[in-house]
Copies of this chain bind each other. A is one copy, B any other.
Amino acid sequence: MSRDVYRDPLVSRYTSRRMQELFSENTRFRGWRDCWIALAEAERELGLTHLISEQAIAEMREHRDDINYERAEAKERELRHDVMAHVYAFGEQAPSAAGIIHLGATSQFVVCNTDLMLHRTALDYVHADLLHAIENLAAAAEQFKDVPVLGATHFQVAQPTTMGKRLCLALQDLMMDLDAIEWVMGQIKARGAKGTTGTQASFVTLFNGDADKVRALDARVSEKLGFEASFPVTGQTYPRKLDTKIAETLAGIGASASWLGTNIRLLSGLKELDEPFGRHQVGSSAMAYKRNPMRSERMCSLARKLMNLPVDFHATHANQWLERTLDDSAIRRMDIPQAYLLTDAVLGLLIDITSGLVLNRAIVNKRLAEELPFLATEEILMAAVEKGASRQVAHEAIRDHSVAAAHSVKELGQTNDLLERLAGDDRIPLSASELSAIAQTPERFIGLAAIQVDDYLQQVVRPHLDARRQHMVTRDEASRVNV
């Protein structure tokens, strides 16, 4: 850990070990070796036994993990070509394979296929985290499903809803992200064995023009690397559009998290809702009673960067020239890890925040009591008319008192006295307790909110989660990287 030079805070501060490891050199170069082993195996299986011995493959397998970086780097200084340097270094460890490592392949054979394996594993991590966040949020929605809270439109008081239903808005966003991520996971294919401009020409030469063997090689290598299929056509690289689609999906998670985080911060400012307390909770301030929603702020901060990343990806894709230009290289080296690390950080926070949201019911109820009378005027009017009042007279009385009560609240800083006013006005044939029964009973105003939560959780969310139980590996369980 060097204090002398810049360190990416994504790594030093915000992300899980498993995601940091996934985008390490070790993981990457082991991925390259997996590609070379798969290639040699497949080539041998398809008949190149005269070139590739069992021994060669055995030696390669033996040294898959213990990468001789010093040798590779020395060679790279000479050749200025990282793939060739690693071929050479691997050959030193596996001398029987020295001449046949990378046989017929071009650099992007290892680079692209490894990138795709990293995508695959990284998406597995994201998928599992997303499921956990959904599960947490579903539990919170369940917990608060029938707790009335003031609604808000324009960030102004509006018809009550329930806190559980409100959380379902975030839940539904995450469910759409889940659908999106599963779609994009289904788009991943191997780059396979395609050669420098994608024509497989070098492999055609290698197999003396036997097209079937060349096709089989592509399929077999892909299968050995764990892919169900390879892209039917490629240039030198796999289609950059795939990167964009993945980045968009991750950005979508950022937007969902940002929506929730922003709203937690607003509700926290109104004192209605707090992030979970506990070990994390040390305010940035000397004022101990403050519950600064710092994790939500951080989540919004990280999510903002995540949401803007797809612009890069589109531009990288759209500007690729012909079979390939290398202006995709440096930016992808940064953008792809950043997208996943940001997602990892965002989801880590999201899982944490949703694990114990604190609803301050006293505050919630106080605000409801203060505001409901204004929201209940329609119901009061109906009740008054039912008890014999003239609609027009009652409407006028309610309007006058509403204006006066609003004035009292906003201009004089006093409490809302609308109900007292109405109870004391003969034009409204309702007693104080009758009025209170209407206007201080929030449950009357929440419509089907609680039922919607039940329906949504039971019919959609829970079945989805149950069907994916086996994918819900936790971060701790997944402490070992396994590309």
Contacts and interface: CB of A to CB of B under 8 A. Distances in A.
Contact of A446 (B201, B292, B452): B201
A315 B317 contact: no
Nearest to A154: B292
A62 to B, nearest CB: 20
Chain A binding site: helix, strand, loop or mixed by DSSP? helix
A204 to B, nearest CB: 5
Given A312-B305, A412-B362, A155 B333 contact: no
A447 B298 contact: no
A154 B5 contact: no
A5 B9 contact: no
Interface string A95-122: 0000000000001000000000000000
A53 interface: no
What is the total number of copies of this protein in its complex? Answer: 4
Contacts of A226: none
A269 B263 CA distance: 13
A331 B152 contact: no
Interface string A296-323: 0110111111011011101111111111
Given A154-B325, A155-B325, 10 more contacts: A81-B282, A151-B196, A151-B323, A154-B326, A159-B196, A271-B410, A288-B399, A302-B330, A360-B411, A366-B413
27 contacts: A3-B25, A3-B26, A3-B69, A4-B24, A6-B337, A9-B334, A13-B330, A151-B196, A152-B321, A153-B323, A154-B284, A154-B297, A154-B326, A159-B199, A160-B201, A169-B233, A169-B234, A199-B445, A204-B447, A241-B256, A248-B310, A258-B319, A284-B326, A297-B326, A301-B331, A330-B345, A363-B410
